[in-house]
Each structure stands twice: as structure tokens, then as C-alpha cells.
Structure 1
Amino acid sequence: MPNTLPAVILASSIVQLIDFSTNILLEDHTIFPSTDGSIPENPAVLQHIANNLTRLSSQIQRSDPRKLRADSKGAKLGEAARHLLKLGEETNETAKPLIDAILQAQASCLYGDPRWTTTREAVLTMWKEKDVTSMQKKLQVVRKQVDATLLLALRQYIDQSSEKGLLPFSIDGSGAHPRERWQQETLDIIRTNDWKPKNKTHVEEFSEKVNSLILAENEAQFYDDIFANLHFPEQDDRLYSIGAPVKGSFRWMFDARHQKEGSFLDWLGNTSGQNLFWITGKPGSGKSTLMKYLFRNERLFARLENWSGDSPGILTGFFLWNCGTNLQKSPVGLLRSLLYETLQDMIHGPLEEDPVILQKLFSDRWNQFRSYGGGMQSFTFSQLETAFELLVSDASNKFLLMIDGLDELEGTSTELIDLILRTVQRANVKICLSSRDTSIFRTAFNNRPTLTLEEWTRKATLSYVLRTFDENDTMFNMASEESDGTAERAIVNTIVDKSSGVFLWVTLATDFLVQSTSELDDVSLIRMRVDALPSDLEALLSHILDSLEMRDREQSSHLFRLVDAHGYPGLLPLCFANDTDTKSSLTVEVRPLNHSELLPRIESLRNLLKFKCKGFLTMFEAVPPDEASSDAANLTNFKVNYKHRCIRDFMRSKSSQSLTRQAIGFESFNTDEHWANATLWTLKTLPPKEDNMPIWDHVADCVEYALRLEDADKKVRLTYLEEVAHVIRSHKDLPVMDFPRGPAVESFLDLAIWLNLFGYIAIIAKRVERREVRHAFEYRRQMRKRLLFGGEEKCLGGRKMLKEVYMRPAPELDSLLEYYTKVVRIGTPKPSVEIPNWV
């Protein structure tokens, strides 16, 4: 049995909806103004209110005791639980008219209208005063019944536990949910005061205790929402993608014999105010590898204590990535990650900071949340900047921040550089950062402690070459045993010298030599190949690419284009996208693939990445090291991207394009066709996650690619979309639509009409029953009402074609739907709709 009693969970959900509904209808419950003192726009406020009412209503449905208890199958609910279920249903029914009134008020207002100071003013544009009063009375009655029923349930729990000789409910405090702590305190109070559910005074006293539960629940919800808005799924992917350094390559960082005044070791413990350390170097010299080596390295802490003293120390960081998503290469993504990681560490780590710190850092959002359920909009840079500066202004804590790859930012952010320079003026903050040695960073970080990495990497590059050659049997396979090793050493030294400290050059050149060498090659031939290697990194990339056979160049160019078109895909979706048959997904069964079906695809792609793409693309597992999979078939977290930004930039350059365009089939390769095939493969073979099947993003991706292809040749991808519909039908018993929350989805037609997929609808409308069309029409009406004024942004994400179609006026579609959703009399003309071409 979970620590929290099901009755408490359900009652809490009911009271949250009652209290929020009651508060927004009060005459003196004002709408919290923006930072500048202005009242937010009416539509935005009403959207937040409607969203919060819907969330709380759904929460009641999810709190059904029969769903919360794994051992409840066949068991009868007690009287109190049955009554709470009835009160929950009554509360939801009571709230429905209020949600409708809010949405109607929203739909009728314009952004230029005078701004309401209370929600009650908005509701009164739809209702009469007596309707509002009646709603308030209903809510008050239900609230009293919930308090009395919950007291009864807890009283019965105490009495039954006592009769059975069971230990009283207990928790071990610090990590418990606020609801669990409240429950324990309340059970103790009920036992101590002998509260009875039939005693009016006892119920009133108990009601005050319930108020404290709801306050704690609201605070916990706000904290969860803030963390959800700060976090983004891919924020640590760059860190995970960086390979481990060559063994022993960075030991010199912690070796006092190799250090001098102003070194990294000296800087860590320095208390003189030099709080910024700049690691710089050429592109590919290994700056990110060094930063990963230093990040949370235990050997930092002893030195840091000289600086931090007895103050609590917090270490966090972020690895920017120009080859990643927008958030991975933006100041907003950087600050979101730093705030998220730091606050998680402070609240849930050894410091056990009170979560109320979130109310202080995001005070405007907390007030908006309490006022009208707002405060959950996306963060702007200025808002994050304010919260960050408030966080580090607490001089009782010491902060070490590690920021890798400032040059990876998209564009140049002087605002971010200014923030960094202001921050390191504080005595309690140190920042270690890395970037290329460009003029903007040279100017900003002049006269700061600095390390130029390529000056220190000769030993590591030498070690890498020796180890790689030693592990390969074909390298230096001498026909004669008379060699004294001089020629071999000269080759190794030439490779190291040509690299000029650029570790990326060494890895690419060495791997290229290993793949190019056969057992019959002697040292002189290897020497010729080494001499032919350009010392410039871009020239080396051209040299390697030019060495590919035409067939190999075709295969590699396809993979490069697929990765470019997607961003950085998962390993298995990329396997699907690389299928030469772009219609293969149409005949796939709807079921997860087994081990024997996966491995051949994976091994084939791995070989392509290594031998055809020459290591330009790399595979990594986007999880912490302690969660890395030992199962080769567990592919969920494996992703593919360019090995380095330098390679990505080169592959997009004119010199690279002139080489790849020589490949057979380059011009005819349509990445949208391949990714459409891959997204349908992925959708059909999704592995189930416990009892949930979150497929909305996969469905939306399929629709996006279908629309792209339709836009290119004006042919509706009917067969393809019908397969998407088949998947939804196959999962009819699962909550397939994890997002957006709204009315139940009965078929793909619901989604098609909601999303304005006119071509698809025009073709199939006459094939389906009118009942299906009517349900889909109502689904569209409800969803568009709920997502009014910008709500579709989160739902549709960055899917450009899908958003364009969704927002496009559709009078022909409206006319068609009206015909199919109303009772048609004999002789009623059918709307004239041109049936589009389809495949």
C-alpha cells in the first residue's frame, strides 16, 4: 500500500478544484499584475484559468481509489471512499459550466478590450449574478461534505489499525511528499483530540487542517511546474556525447610539478577575487573532453575548500552544443540548465534547502499561479537572468559553475558575457569556462587565468597514436625483422607533429590510416600515406572524403543528409530512415521488434558509421554513465550526431558539397521520404512503457512528414495516413493521446479534422459513418476552444507544416463537415469539393 491513503489523495484533488473555483469567483480575488504593474491580457489570463480547471478536474479522475490500489481488484470500497467518489463526480459536473463560461468569455474578448481586474468580471459577461452565487453555494456545500467524509475515512483507518494491532502510519520525514507528512500529522491530531466526524466542531477544526494540506499541495504543484519549465530532455546530451579522455591524458591538471602561479590548481583555491578561469584552444583540441574530465571530479574538492571554507559548496555546469537543438546552443538553454541543476542539488541534495526558495526566485510566477493558475509560460532570458542573479546573491553558499563551449552559441550573446563578468565579481562564485580563442572572448576574458590546451596535449596525442597502432595487427607488419623501430617512431612523431595539438585531427588521421592499411603494406607505404595527410583539419577532412569509393560516398552522403535533415536522431530511427525502400513501413506490423530483428539493422548502421562515414558521425548513449545499458538491443537512448562541430561545418561547406554531389543518386535522395518512412516505422514498433503508450509526438511527426510530401507534389499521402490511423485503432485500449489533454480520441479522423487535414478528410469523409464525423467535429470544437490564443504552440511544437495547416482558414472543410454532421433532407445539395490526388 502506498504511504498516502487513497482517500487523502482523492479528497485533496476534490478540494483543490473546489478552492480554486471558489477563489476565482470572489469579488476581491484580483488578477496579479505583471512586473511592470499592468494587468495581463484578458485572453491569456482566461486561458490559464481554463487550463488549471481542466488539470484539476482530470486530477480527480486519476485519483479514483480503485486505480490507485494495485490490490483493489474485486475489493469493495468502503462507505467513505464511495461517498468521496460521488463527491468527486459532483464536483467535476459542477465545474463544467464554469470552464465553459471561462472559454466563452475568452472567445468573445479581444486583446484591445479593457482588462478585467478579477475573474468574476469575466464570468459575469456570460452569467448573471445569481448564477455565480449559486455556483459558490454548491461548492461550499460539497467542500463541507468532503471534509466530513475524509475525517470519517481517517477515523476508520485509525480504529481498524488499532483493532488489528497494526502499527500506525509513519514516514521517515525528509524525502516525503508534503501530503504524506500532512497525513501523519493529521492522524496524530485525530488520535490525540479524538475527533469524530459527526461532531460539527471537530469537522470545522479538521477543515482548517485540510486547508494546510491544500496549501502544501499547491506549493508542491508550483515547484513541479517550475522544474518542468526549466528542464529540457536533451540538456545533458552534449555531456554524454563526449568520449572519455585517453587514460592519463589530463593528470597534469592536478600535478603541482606541472603547474605554476595562475594555474588551474592555484585558481581553485584562490581567494583574491580572480574568479574566472578560461580554457581555450584550437577547434578540436579537446576542450570539451577536458571540461568533462574536470566536471565533478573528486580531486577538485580538496582545493575548493581552501576557497569555500565552511560555506556549503554547489557545483554545476552546462555543455553548449552547436550541433544540437536550439536550447542546447542558446543563453536561455544555458541558464535553464544551470538553474535546474543547482536548485535540484540544493533542495534534494545534502543541503536540504527549503523549496520555498523557488517562490523567492520566481515570485511573479508564484503570485500568478496563486491568482489565476498562471506563471507557467516559457522563460525569457531576462526572467532567467533575474532568477540566476538572485540565486547567486546568497553569499552563504559558494558556487562553482563550469560552462563548456561558449563559442557553440548560435550567434554572439553579449548579454550572456556581461552576465558572466558581473557574476564573477561576487566573492562566492567561481566560473570555469571554455571556448575557442576568438576576438570577442579574448577581449572579454583578457588578463584572466587562462590555459591554452594545445600547448599541453602532445603527450596525450602520442599515447593515442601508439595505443591505436598497437591494437591493430596490420600496422607496421614488417616483411623483415631487421627493423630497429626508427622508421615506425618517425611515422608516429610525424603524425603527432602534424596534429599541432588538435586531438580531433589525430583521431581522424589515425583511424583513417588504420582502415587504409592491409597486412601486405610495409612501413614505407604507410610513411607515404602519412606524408600525404594535410596538416590542416579541413584539408584532412577533404582528403578522407575524397578517398572514398563512389559507392561508399553515396552511402555516406545519404547518412550525412539524413542527420542534417533531422538534427541528431536516435540510432534506431536512423536505421529505419536509411532503408532504401521508402515504403517499407506501410507493411510493418504494429508490435515491438525483437532482439533478432533489431541487431542486424544496428550492426549494419554501425559499420556504415565507422567504415563508410570514416568516423565523421558518432553514436553515443544519452544517459548518465551509471545508467548506461549493457544490453546491445536496448536502443532507446542511443543517438547519432557529428563527431565534432568542425566536421558538421565542413560537411555543409562548398568544398564538401562538391565531393558529395558526385555520389550516385545524390540529387534523387529525398530526406523527407526517408524520414516519413522512419517515423511510421518508429510509431508502429514502439515498445510499451508500463501501462502507458505516449505516442502523440510520433503521430504528429508522421502527419508533419505527410504534409511536407503533399506540399512538394500536391498528392495526399492517404495510404500512409491510413497506416497511422491503423496504429491508433490498435492501441484503442491504451491512453494513446498522452498530449494534448482533451476529449477522448476515438479515431484518427478526430485528429485529422482538428488539425485541418483537408485533403485526407475530403477523400475519406464519404467512407465513414456520420457518427464518426460528428464525434470528430465535436472533438475539433473542444480542442480548438481549449487551445485558443497560443495553446497550440506547445502541442504542435516545431512542426512547421503542421502549424501552417492548423492555422490556415478552412471554409471548404467547414462546409463539408456541416453537411456530414447535420441531418440531411432529401434533395439537399452536397457541397462541391474537389477530391485531391492521392497515393
Structure 2
Amino acid sequence: MKPLPAVGLASSIIQIIDFSVKITSQDNVIHQPADGEPIDNSTILQNAANNLFRLSLNIDQNDLKRMSTDPKRPKLSDAAEEMLKLSDETKTLTTTLINAVLQAQARGSFADPKWQTVREALSTVWKKKEITGIKKKFRDVRKDVDIALMVALRQYLDQSAETGLPVFSEEDGRIHHVEKWQNDAMDAIHTNDWKSKNKKNVEEFSKLVDKLSQAEREAVFCADVFDAIQFPAMNDRLQSIEPAYPGTLEWSIKDYGDGEDRFLSWLGEKSGQNLFWVTGQPGSGKSTWMKHWFRNSKSFESLERWSGASPGIIAGFSFWDCGTELQNSSEGLLRSLLFESLQDMIHGPLQRDPAIVQWLFAERWEQFAAFGGGMQPLTFGDLRRAFELMISDITKKFFFMVDGLDELEGYPEALISLLETVTKRDNVKIVVSSRGSPAFRGAFQDRPSFELDLYTKGDIEVYLKSVFEQDEKWVGICSEALSGTPERDVIGRMVKKADGNFLWASLAVSFVLQDTYEPPDLMTFRERVDALPPDLDNLLQHILSSLESTDLEHAARLFSLVDAHGYPDILELSFAFDPNTRSGITAEHRPLRESEVTQRVDHMHSLLSNQCRDFLAVFEASESTDDGRHGKLKEKQLKVTYAHKCFKDFIHSQRIQEQILHITGNGYFESDECWANSRLWALKTARLERGPMGKTHIAIWEELAWCIEYALRLQEKDNKVRTTYLDEVGFAAIIEHQENIRNDETDLPEGMQAESFLDIAVWLNLAGYVTIKAKGAERKANKHAVEYYRTMRKRLGPGGEMKWIGGKRCLTTAYNTTNPEIFQLLDYYAKPLRFATPKPFVEIPAGV
């Protein structure tokens, strides 16, 4: 038998036993924060219950546990069977403890004095002997687990020795902590020749298991903090920035400027100012320059002169006006810099102990260890304290690059103050970029700096010449000319008009080389160049005005769809662009074939290039990476966004918005309806994702939640419940996936299996849908929906829903609304006989 499933199950059992023993002990004092509001009794008990739930689920999700339910499974060893029996005992005890914790929570009130221990709370529902009794039962199970685990590992070692199989995995810093747990335990058994029948050996083994379990708890906390710091699409802005065009920025490899304005020299200086400002006009290429120098081998050479023997940590962040709230906020900045720095320290060449996370978030670690707390959302104050504590370690040198300060949402004064405070430290250097707005010029004009557009004339010429040389029509015309003078004249005129603005040059050359009905000649190209406005904003208007009415209508729809979403996946945008907004309802429930995906993606590329004139761009983004625990990997996705902030600002100007409104017509185009259709398509075409050890995972929840959100947004506008749409959503998410749910993992909420969309609707408090559907539903369906509601609300606790509905405005409002009459209605229809029961009056809304 492979040891990992047994070790994994033993680890899960031990974790839940150790936590249960701790919270039932008198000396486990609840840690309260030193600053701010103390944690109330209800939150403490809810955190304890949530942690018990989480640890219980780890038992259910274990491979050995899954294997035990397979009728075709091979015969398990006696040690494995014993471990399964002990896991069942542990779950029974845990359920009893969870119920007691929740009962104590229900009995308490905000007026109660703060409990010093969880045991003190339990004493309000249990007698002392009951608390002592369950604690003893947990400890007895723990002893049996240690023996069963030792037997399982001893058997594996003996079998490996007989067959010549390798006993231990190769040492690897990325190894899963449970696998390392297993290897350390086997190493100790092998080295000390421990036997399960030797009492002293078992005691020594138990002490080792205690240490390994503690290390695992620390690893889990570390991973949880990483999850709390990281946010979706953290690296998307960096991905969306086009790399420097071949042959450009070669000047920046050489040092330039005078005095302390020389960038490479500044990187290597051990004294002087620690902030360098890159500025320039909009479109001059600041973000491209920053991306070019981020983790650049040439910058490494200079930084090593500055850092000397001290280890260097590098992290970066790009503010993004076209992105999410976190992507253009100071909170997003700190989360990104913390995440990258800690990854560098723990998983990079330094291989630092993960305990650094416990040091940076000490109070949260104390709460996590004491009662499973500390995982509440991080505040900006939490992040700033952790960041400042991290850079206070003068044994390390920190180099940060922060792009696009002018794309910060709100006023920049607080951000400027933060940057100035951080760069007072000798062990921190920061490079920032922004437009030359008064706030930044006033703060940074006396710092080392340069204006990028003063250096880009040569790069623009290299770029334009290369693009022209790749155009067949242009090459044909130039080959007929007697000299290269006309060619140089056209390019020279464009370089002069660009005036250091790379964005202007890229737009202009694309417009000049666009296809026309008549074969162009050199004079035609020259006339096109002469007609181009030198101002970027006027150039954008000139390009937009050149579109045919149909192309302009398509462009307006695409702009509106992107504005309503943020930056969508290109395939989802193709679904949303479908003029038939009910196509998702009639679509088949199956993954798209590769040819279908290719056709849709190619069509969108054509629309974005021709109808949108490249105002919208496609970039490759990675949705997630291996997190070290779940092993989930997603393929890179093509995303669509504005090619530049200037384009978004231009499209959002009042003049252009009035044009778009005139084109689309008032009420003709409903972006929420389009995105509701798109999300249903995405739900129906969801693919199985391959996880660790060949397991498959079905991503359902995110699309399901967004389907509901858009249905609620539409209902908010016309007060009509989208019953037909939500019925299809429920069928796609639950009914069609039932067979897969039995065989594979899903990301639906755990605690109780939903049998129909009515379950989800009652849990999320979709009052309109429930009111319409309760009467026609079977009695047992209404009864199950109420039970599902109670289970999920109990399982998640106050605030636990944010994992599932966070960021969705209408869904959050619905969830937090109180509708007691809905449950009266469900109870009424759940009864077998209703002759003597008056029917509750509930106004039934219109459904469509």
C-alpha cells in the first residue's frame, strides 16, 4: 500500500484531534489583538466551529477515505482499515463538539464578558465531566492513530526493502508538506528501527508526530496567509504590457544622463536617494520600459553592487486603471509586494523558514493556533504593518518597481507618503513611473529621474521602419523607387509627428498601412501621413471617424461589454457579443470542441483588429498557479482589455459616450443581459480540470454565482424574475453534473449536496424565485431546500458566505435580506396535509 493516503488521513485525524484537545483545555487562552477592537465571543466560537468543519472535510477528501467507498477497490491492509475506523470515530466526536460550540454561540450575547478560553464557553452547555470526557476520548483515539500509522509505515518500509523499491523521495524544496511529513516519519522509523509493539518506540514516535503536526499547522497557516494576500489576476497587468519591440531600448543598456540621473549607476549606489522616477507623456512607453527592466540581468548586475553580501528580494506591481479594484489601489500594491517578496524568500534561493509568515502576522498566528481564527480579511493597516516589518530586516535588500502611479484610484497623496517613508530605509530601493502630473512632479522632481519621451525618437524610427518593411505593398512601392529618399521621407515625417510618443506611432502606422479599395502608391502613403493629427486625442478621433457605420456599431457594443465586465476572457466575450441573448438557454451542455473554440477566438481577433481598430487588445493571462496544497493548475487564458489607458479615457469621454449612445440606441443594448447569456454558456461548456494524482475537478460555482448575479441585476431593473433563465442555470449546474459529482470533485459549497436549484435559491435568499417555484415543487424538494439552507448557514457562519458571493453586489444584498415569510411558505408546502394551516400571504412577482 502506498503510504501517502494513510499518512494524509492520519495527518487529518491528528490535526482535528490536537485542535479539539486544545480548545477543550483550560490553559488555551484566547489571544486578543493588541490594537483595535477585541474579538467578540460569537466570532471566536464561529471560527472554532469553522476550523472543525474544515478539518473534518480534510478527512472526507482523503484518498484512503475515497478508496474505502469504491466497491472495486483492492483489499486494504489491517492498518489501513484501522485508520478508516478511527477516522469515523473522530468525525463522530467532532460533530458532537461542533454542535456544542454552536449551542454555546447561540446562548451567548454581545453583553457577555469576553471568554478567556473556548472551554469557558463550552461550560455554558456542558458539564465539566462532559468536557473532560470528550477530551479524553480524543486523546485515546490519538494514541490508536499513532500505532496504526506506525504499523502502516513499518509495513511499507519492510516491503520496500524486500522488493528493492526506493524508500524515500528525492529532496525537493517544493515537496508537499504532507509528503515531507511522511518521509520524515519513515526516516525516523527506519533509522531507529522502531517497532509498533515496543511501548517506548511508540512513545518516541508520538513525540515525533507531535513535531511534524506542529510543522504542518505552521505550513497550513502560511498557505492560508498566502491565499489571503494573493488576489485573482495579480499578474495580469504585467502580462498585458507588450514587451519592448525588437531593436528598441538598446540605448537603455548603456548608462545615460548626468549625475544621479543615470539609472544603472543609481541601482548600484550604496548611498544617496533610494527612489528613482520615470516619467513622460501618455503613450511614451513608461510601462514597457518598466517591464523591460523588471528582473533584467543587467539590472541584477548593478543591484548586486548595492546589495553586496546581503540577499536581495525583488518584487513589482503595476497599477491598472482598466483592471479590478485591487489592481488600482494601494491595498493591491501592498498585497502584491508582500506576496512576491515572501515567495522569493520562502521558495526562492533563500529557502527561508515559512515561520517568517508567523512573524509578520504574529497576532493572526496566535488566533489561528488558539481557536482557528486569524483568517478574517486583511485590512490595509494589517498589510502596511506586515510590509514595514518585513523591510525592517536590514540583513536583506529590497528592490521594488511600481508602475503607473497615475492609474491609482483616488488621490495619490497617501501613496506618495508611503513611498517616501519606505525609501528612507537604506535597504530599500524603489523605481516608480507615472505621468508628470503636479502631485508627482511636486513630490519627485528633486529625485533621480528622467523623462522617457526625450530618449525614444530613435526607437520610434527603428519600430516604424521595421513595420513598414513587413508590409508587402510598401516593400513593392519602395523597390520601384530609384532611391530610399521617399521611404525615409515618409518615416521621417511620422517620427517628427510622434514627438517621442510610441503609442501615437503604433496607432499611426497601423492606420496608414490599412487596406483600401485602390492600390496605394507612395503619394497615397504620404498623404495619409500628412492627414494624421499630431495630437494623440485627435488621432484617436480621426481613426474612430474612419469606421463604417456597421463597424462602429460593433465597436460600440464591444466597448460597452468590456466596460461592464472589466477585462473578460476572449471566449466569454464572444458569447456576450452574440446578438441572440437567449442562445445560452438553448445551447447544448458539453465542452466546446477545439475547432469551435478556435473559430470563436479567431472571429473575436478579427473584430478587435478591424472593427475596433486595435483600441481593444488581447493578452495572455494565467488564472492561477500551483498553490502547493491543492495542486490546481489552469491553462493560460486570452483576455481582452483596452490597449492603453489613453484609449479608455478617450472612449469614456462625454463626447464619445454620446456617440456610442446614439449608435447603440437607448434600450437597444443591455450589457447585463449579454453577460448573463455569456455566463450560462460558460457554465454549460465548463471543462474538467486535471488535478493531483489524476483527479478531475469541475469548476461550477464561479459561473453559477455570476449567472445568479446577472439575473438579479436584470430583475432589479424591471422587477421581473428570470425564472426560465435560472431554471436552466440550475439544470446545467446541478442536474447535468450529478453523475460527474459522484465521480469527481466540484467546487460547489461543501456540507450538504444540493439536489435542485431551489436549494441554492433558498440558501442565497432569492426570494422572487422561491416564491414562484415553491408551490409547484414537490413536498420533499421544499423540505430539502429548508434543510439545505440551515446546513449551509450553520456550516459557513456569519461572514462565511463572502468566499462564495464576495464582490457580487446584488447577490450580497439578497443574501443579507431577511424574508421570514418565504420560510413560512416553504414550511406550508412541505407539509403532507394543509387543511388546517392557513397559507401565508406572499406577493408573487412576475416571472419571465
TM-score (norm 2): 0.93
Q: Does residue 848 of structure 2 align to residue 835 of structure 1? A: no
- C-alpha separation in 1, matches of 2:499 and 2:110: 61
SS of 2:156's equivalent in the other structure is helix
2:828 touches 2:834 (CA, 8 Å); kept in 1? no
Between 1:738-747 and 1:405-414, the stretch displaced more is 738-747
- C-alpha separation in 2, matches of 1:455 and 1:76: 75
Q: Which residue of 2 aligns with 1:731?
A: 737
1:105 touches 1:123 (CA, 8 Å); kept in 2? yes
Distance 1:731 1:443, change over 3 A: same
Q: Which residue of 2 aligns with 1:608?
A: 607
- C-alpha separation in 1, matches of 2:571 and 2:377: 31
SS of 2:431's equivalent in the other structure is strand
Q: CA deviation at 1:174?
A: 4.3
Between 1:821-830 and 1:409-418, the stretch displaced more is 821-830
Q: Which residue of 1 aligns with 2:413?
A: 414
Mapping for residues 21-36 of structure 1, pairs under 5 Å: 21-36=20-35
Q: CA deviation at 1:173?
A: 5.7
Mapping for residues 396-435 of structure 1, pairs under 5 Å: 396-435=395-434
Q: CA deviation at 1:12?
A: 1.2
Mapping for residues 232-271 of structure 1, pairs under 5 Å: 232-256=231-255, 262-271=261-270
Q: CA deviation at 1:397?
A: 1.6
2:783 touches 2:827 (CA, 8 Å); kept in 1? no
* 1:541-571 C-alpha deviation (Å, 9 max, x unpaired): 1221122222111110000000000011000
Amino acid in structure 2 at the alignment position of 1:36: D
Distance 1:529 1:731, change over 3 A: same
1:27 touches 1:120 (CA, 8 Å); kept in 2? yes
Q: CA deviation at 1:516?
A: 5.7
* 1:8-38 C-alpha deviation (Å, 9 max, x unpaired): 2111111111110111111221110112286
Between 1:741-750 and 1:585-594, the stretch displaced more is 741-750
Mapping for residues 222-371 of structure 1, pairs under 5 Å: 222-256=221-255, 262-371=261-370
Q: CA deviation at 1:279?
A: 0.6
Length, aligned pairs only: 832
Q: Which residue of 1 aligns with 2:379?
A: 380
List alignment gaps of at least 5 residues for structure 2.
Answer: 627-633, 691-695
- C-alpha separation in 2, matches of 1:110 and 1:474: 80
- C-alpha separation in 2, matches of 1:347 and 1:202: 34
Q: Which residue of 1 aligns with 2:620?
A: 621
1:161 touches 1:167 (CA, 8 Å); kept in 2? yes
- C-alpha separation in 2, matches of 1:508 and 1:770: 64
Q: Which residue of 2 aligns with 1:681?
A: 681
Between 1:662-671 and 1:536-545, the stretch displaced more is 662-671
Q: CA deviation at 1:165?
A: 4.8
1:399 touches 1:429 (CA, 8 Å); kept in 2? yes
TM-score (norm 1): 0.94
Q: CA deviation at 1:446?
A: 2.8
1:171 touches 1:180 (CA, 8 Å); kept in 2? no
Q: CA deviation at 1:761?
A: 2.0
Between 1:763-772 and 1:375-384, the stretch displaced more is 763-772
* 1:37-69 C-alpha deviation (Å, 9 max, x unpaired): 864112221221111100100011112415479
- C-alpha separation in 2, matches of 1:150 and 1:199: 14
Q: Which residue of 1 aligns with 2:777?
A: 768
Q: Which residue of 2 aligns with 1:465?
A: 464
Q: Which residue of 1 aligns with 2:534?
A: 535
Q: Which residue of 1 aligns with 2:814?
A: 805
Q: Which residue of 2 aligns with 1:758?
A: 767
Identity %: 49
2:146 touches 2:206 (CA, 8 Å); kept in 1? yes
Q: CA deviation at 1:484?
A: 4.5
SS of 1:288's equivalent in the other structure is helix
- C-alpha separation in 2, matches of 1:643 and 1:173: 41
2:279 touches 2:286 (CA, 8 Å); kept in 1? yes
Amino acid in structure 1 at the alignment position of 2:722: R
- C-alpha separation in 2, matches of 1:405 and 1:111: 46
- C-alpha separation in 1, matches of 2:465 and 2:510: 12
1:42 touches 1:106 (CA, 8 Å); kept in 2? yes
1:557 touches 1:666 (CA, 8 Å); kept in 2? no
Q: Which residue of 1 aligns with 2:717?
A: 712
Q: Which residue of 1 aligns with 2:698?
A: 693
- C-alpha separation in 2, matches of 1:262 and 1:829: 82
1:361 touches 1:391 (CA, 8 Å); kept in 2? yes
Distance 1:717 1:387, change over 3 A: same
Q: CA deviation at 1:667?
A: 4.2
Q: Which residue of 1 aligns with 2:693?
A: none
Amino acid in structure 1 at the alignment position of 2:581: T
Amino acid in structure 2 at the alignment position of 1:57: S
Distance 1:159 1:729, change over 3 A: same
- C-alpha separation in 2, matches of 1:625 and 1:558: 29
1:31 touches 1:39 (CA, 8 Å); kept in 2? no
Q: Does residue 77 of structure 2 align to residue 78 of structure 1? A: yes
Q: Which residue of 1 aligns with 2:650?
A: 650
2:255 touches 2:265 (CA, 8 Å); kept in 1? no
- C-alpha separation in 2, matches of 1:19 and 1:188: 23
SS of 2:687's equivalent in the other structure is coil
2:581 touches 2:677 (CA, 8 Å); kept in 1? yes
Q: Which residue of 2 aligns with 1:119?
A: 118
**Aligned alpha-carbon RMSD (Å):** 2.6
SS of 1:515's equivalent in the other structure is coil
SS of 2:433's equivalent in the other structure is strand
- C-alpha separation in 2, matches of 1:453 and 1:297: 18
Q: CA deviation at 1:785?
A: 2.2
* 1:264-322 C-alpha deviation (Å, 9 max, x unpaired): 12112112232211111111110000011111111212222221222222222111111
Amino acid in structure 2 at the alignment position of 1:707: L
Mapping for residues 44-123 of structure 1, pairs under 5 Å: 44-65=43-64, 67=66, 74-123=73-122
Q: Which residue of 2 aligns with 1:785?
A: 794
2:618 touches 2:638 (CA, 8 Å); kept in 1? yes
Between 1:301-310 and 1:89-98, the stretch displaced more is 301-310
* 1:488-540 C-alpha deviation (Å, 9 max, x unpaired): 43332222222221111111122122226455333334333323322222222
Amino acid in structure 1 at the alignment position of 2:151: L
SS of 2:472's equivalent in the other structure is coil
Between 1:62-71 and 1:6-15, the stretch displaced more is 62-71
Q: CA deviation at 1:258?
A: 7.2
Q: CA deviation at 1:184?
A: 3.5
- C-alpha separation in 2, matches of 1:639 and 1:368: 39
SS of 1:447's equivalent in the other structure is coil
1:551 touches 1:663 (CA, 8 Å); kept in 2? no
Distance 1:364 1:257, change over 3 A: closer
Distance 1:625 1:729, change over 3 A: closer
Q: CA deviation at 1:794?
A: 2.4
- C-alpha separation in 1, matches of 2:479 and 2:54: 78
Distance 1:706 1:366, change over 3 A: same
Q: Which residue of 1 aligns with 2:594?
A: 595
